Amino acid sequence: MKFQQSAKLQSGLHPINIAPMINIIFLLLIFLAAISPLTYQPGISVKIPKAVTSDVIKEKNLVITITGEDVIYFNNALVTTQELKIALKAADIEELSILIKADRRSSMGRIVDVWDLCRILGIERINIATNQGS
């Protein structure tokens, strides 16, 4: 068997093989498409209703969130109405006000229950979160 003794460089343009580059791009697209639904947004999803007469509150607030399923959260922690009562009693309410962030699908009865609970505990500065609308 006879081997070639010297390798000659061929002159001219050589085509670039782009198949590996296309494979890498497709793998990246598949990876990003698979990962994007798995990203988790922390927080409680609440769709706040719009109000024409809303004002901006600049003071510090304790936040009570009521979801569309009438679940209550106090400062992003799931609570029952009894636990909320205990937490509000323990909080320093004289310096702070309460902000109720209620989903527009939540029942009015649950909002009134939380409002009444705050009033029974002697809290006078209670606000309801809204978006400015026209």
| pTM reported for the whole predicted model | 0.60
CA–CA distances in Å: residue 69 to residues 88, 104, 117: 22, 10, 19
Round to whole Å and give the CA distance between 12 and 10: 7
Structure-token match 């061929």, residue found? 10
CA quadruple 77, 106, 116, 127: dihedral, nearest 10 = 80
Round to whole Å and give the CA distance between 52 and 94: 29
Output the pLDDT for position 1: 65
Output the pLDDT for position 26: 92
Output the pLDDT for position 25: 93
CATH of domain 50-132: 3.30.420.270
Round to whole Å and give the CA distance between 126 and 22: 59
Helix axes 81-90, 108-120, angle to 10 degrees: 30
Output the pLDDT for position 4: 66
Instruction: From first to last of the 134 residues of the chain, give the pLDDT tens digit.
Output: 666 666 565 666 667 788 888 999 999 998 888 877 666 556 666 766 666 566 676 677 788 899 888 899 988 889 998 998 888 888 876 667 888 888 888 888 998 999 999 888 888 888 888 776 65
Say which amino acid occupies 3: F
* Alpha helices in the chain, H assignment, sequence order: 19-35, 81-90, 108-120
Output the pLDDT for position 51: 65
CA–CA distances in Å: residue 10 to residues 7, 13, 16, 25, 89: 9, 9, 15, 31, 86
